[in-house]
């Protein structure tokens, strides 16, 4: 099987590197980005028409505009049955529109954004969230496993991107929460580098916020649900610890709006009551 890869940047290059060999066709507007893979046996493409010879084509380009440009050129050039997988983080509706445009050509679009950054790409341990038909997922899951440690079918085309946007919401909101914690620690005279080491160590052990993402719904937990006891324990700890942190913030004059919001919403977010 021929595999095509378009976009050899910080994440795309190590992803493609896991597939390097005579079965891989690579393309990037920068010839120097293709050179290391060509040295390892990959075939350099002179343009997108060369990549269209592949049965599966991965796109790891910058944004919606580039995805639309590259996919728009590939779709009519590809043979029927080709799968084009979009790994870029894009608008929730972009892949759906591309799938509609590709259907008359017999080409399948898969949205398969990844999580794990350049570190995961280098290690071959990325998580990939796949939006695809059952048939298309069956075709790509083994190929994706060459550069991913977790390949999950999230639903039809578009579901992969929606999952990535939800995942990244947590990622970047947590940055704001981390900055709020740093401001409190700094005002309290705590070395921020040491605090960061503690956070990274303990989250690696506990799983961090993802450890609580156990439920299939955000609805309140019904009476008798075995998770109620666990979440009640988390609520008791969280209520105590957030109260103490808010008391310290008040004493030091540090504004902690995210902590106040989390304290107010904690019971509801744990499924223990209706949100106010």
Task: At 221, list the tokens.
Answer: 């937990």
For residue 164, indicate whether it is catalytic.
yes
Given 97, 141, 164, 240, the catalytic residue: 164
- The per-residue b/e assignment along 93-112, b for 16 or more CB within 10 angstroms, e otherwise, is ebbbbbbebbeebebbbbbb
Going 148 to 154 to 159 to 162, the CA torsion angle's sign is negative
**Residue 129 DSSP symbol:** E
> Which region, left, alpha or beta, applies to residue 224 given φ > 0 means left and ψ of -120 to 50 means alpha?
left
Task: At 199, list the tokens.
Answer: 């956070």
Euclidean distance between CA atoms 163 and 166, whole angstroms: 5
| Residues labelled as active-site residues | 164
């Amino acid at each position: 099987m021929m595999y095509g890869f378009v976009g050899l940047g910080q994440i795309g290059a190590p992803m493609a590197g896991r597939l390097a060999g005579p079965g891989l066709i690579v393309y990037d507007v920068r010839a120097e980005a293709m050179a290391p893979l060509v040295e390892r046996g990959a075939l350099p493409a002179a343009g997108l028409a060369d990549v269209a010879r592949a049965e599966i084509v991965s796109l790891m380009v910058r944004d919606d505009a580039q995805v639309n440009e590259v996919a728009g050129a590939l779709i009519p050039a590809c043979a029927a049955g080709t799968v084009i997988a979009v790994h870029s983080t894009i608008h929730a509706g972009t892949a759906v529109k591309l799938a509609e445009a590709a259907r008359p050509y017999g080409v399948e679009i898969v949205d398969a954004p990844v999580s794990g950054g350049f570190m995961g790409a280098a290690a071959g341990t990325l998580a990939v969230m796949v939006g695809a038909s059952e048939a298309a997922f069956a075709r790509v899951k083994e190929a994706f496993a060459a550069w991913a440690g977790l390949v999950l079918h999230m639903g039809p085309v578009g579901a992969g991107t929606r999952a990535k946007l939800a995942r990244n919401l947590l990622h970047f909101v947590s940055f704001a929460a981390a900055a709020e914690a740093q401001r409190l620690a700094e005002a309290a005279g705590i070395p921020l580098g040491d605090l960061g080491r503690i956070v990274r160590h303990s989250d690696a052990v506990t799983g961090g916020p993802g450890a609580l993402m156990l439920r299939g719904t955000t609805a309140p937990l019904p009476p008798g649900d075995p998770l109620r006891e666990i979440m009640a324990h988390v609520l008791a700890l969280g209520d105590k610890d957030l109260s103490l942190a808010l008391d310290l913030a008040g004493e030091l004059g540090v504004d902690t709006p995210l902590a106040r919001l989390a304290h107010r919403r904690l019971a509801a977010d744990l499924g223990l009551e209706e949100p106010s």
